[in-house]
């Protein structure tokens, strides 16, 4: 039988190995980002200069020329966004955890994304536990890297007309945050891949949003889970163990 001390040692060794591996990936990512970002910036500058010269293009070709410039600009912007998101995954900044009113943070993130939801006729509903005690969180990383990613994912899954529910609850062992939507859920064949880096079912998706969200949650000592109901909707559950919260806040 494995003793409690041995279990803790195994967990510590696994955590250290994972941290070492991710640090190596982060170092590689930084070097790669530097090599890629410079030519991308040069491409963007040259595209802007070409756009300034559009008037010099003869009228029959001007419209086609403008369309091609727009297409190339979108591709460059997409690559820059992919690079930024990959760096966020591979080499995130160090956590700066502060006691956080979770319900208030969720409200602020919901207000941030509300205009985009209103355009799609999507309603955001809250169902918060009362007297939720402060939880140590890096408010910027957790708010934008986790909650905004999950809300955006829910909004895009719904498409038009639907409901997103933000829930919080407390159990004897966990603090839980749920982002639920009625957008049809995840197909059975994709359930096991939903958190994979670069995996996306969206036409212009980078496949990094959920991977980033999961990593940030793990850095906070918690886990991010999918509760799926194919054909109906899905919920992403953030579960923060109270034991980890107490340890993290010392």
Burial letters for 101-129: b for 16+ Cβ neighbours within 10 Å, e otherwise?
ebbebbeebbeebeeebeeeebebeeeee
Q: What pLDDT shows up at residue 176?
A: 94
* Band (147; pLDDT cuts 50, 70, 90): very high
Mean pLDDT of 160-181: 93
Helix (H/G/I), strand (E/B), else coil: 125:
strand
**By mean pLDDT, which of 88-97, 161-170, 182-191 is the weakest?**
88-97
**Sign of the C-alpha dihedral, residues 83, 24, 7, 246?**
negative
pLDDT in tens, 236-248: 999 998 866 555 5
More confident residue, 48 or 38: 48
Q: What pLDDT shows up at residue 66?
A: 86
- Phi and psi dihedrals of 69, rounded to 5? -60, -45
Fold of 98-249: Heat Shock Protein 90 (3.30.565)
- With contact defined as beta carbons under 8 Å apart, do 151 and 162 qualify? no
Q: What pLDDT shows up at residue 20?
A: 61
Whole-angstrom distance, CA of residue 217 vs CA of residue 233: 22
Is pLDDT at 227 greater than 70 in this prediction? yes
pLDDT in tens, 25-45: 566 666 666 677 778 888 888
Closest CA to 205 of 119, 85, 92, 87: 85
**Sign of the C-alpha dihedral, residues 202, 205, 211, 214?**
negative
What are 109's two structure tokens? 């993130």
- With contact defined as beta carbons under 8 Å apart, do 221 and 177 qualify? no
- Phi and psi dihedrals of 157, rounded to 5? -70, -40
**Domain boundaries of the chain, sorted by first residue:** 4-90, 98-249
Q: What pLDDT shows up at residue 125?
A: 95
Is pLDDT at 163 greater than 50 in this prediction? yes
Q: What pLDDT shows up at residue 1?
A: 43
Q: What pLDDT shows up at residue 186?
A: 85
* Band (123; pLDDT cuts 50, 70, 90): very high
pLDDT in tens, 5-32: 576 676 566 656 655 665 555 666 666 6
Q: What pLDDT shows up at residue 84?
A: 74
């Amino acid at each position: 039988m494995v003793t409690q001390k041995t279990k803790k040692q195994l967990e510590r060794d696994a955590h250290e190995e994972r941290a070492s591996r991710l640090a190596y990936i982060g170092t590689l990512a930084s070097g790669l980002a530097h090599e890629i970002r410079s030519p991308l910036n040069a491409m963007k500058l040259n595209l802007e200069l070409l756009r300034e010269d559009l008037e010099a293009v003869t009228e029959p070709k001007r419209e086609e020329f403008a369309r091609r410039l727009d297409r190339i600009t979108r591709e460059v912007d997409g690559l820059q966004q992919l690079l930024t998101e990959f760096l966020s995954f591979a080499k995130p900044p160090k956590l700066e955890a502060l006691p956080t009113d979770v319900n208030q943070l969720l409200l602020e993130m919901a207000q941030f994304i509300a205009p985009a939801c209103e355009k799609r006729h999507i309603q955001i509903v809250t169902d918060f536990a009362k007297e939720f005690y402060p939880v140590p969180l890096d408010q910027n990383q957790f708010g934008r890297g986790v909650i905004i990613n999950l809300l955006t994912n829910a909004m895009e899954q719904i498409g038009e007309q639907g409901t997103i529910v933000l829930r919080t609850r407390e159990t004897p062992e966990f603090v839980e945050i749920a982002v639920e939507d009625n957008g049809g859920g995840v197909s059975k064949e994709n359930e096991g891949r939903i958190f994979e880096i670069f995996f996306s079912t969206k036409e212009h998706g980078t496949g990094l949003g959920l991977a980033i969200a999961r990593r940030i949650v793990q850095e906070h000592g918690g886990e991010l889970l999918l509760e799926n109901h194919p054909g109906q909707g899905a919920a992403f559950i953030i579960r923060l163990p109270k034991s980890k919260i107490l340890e993290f806040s010392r």
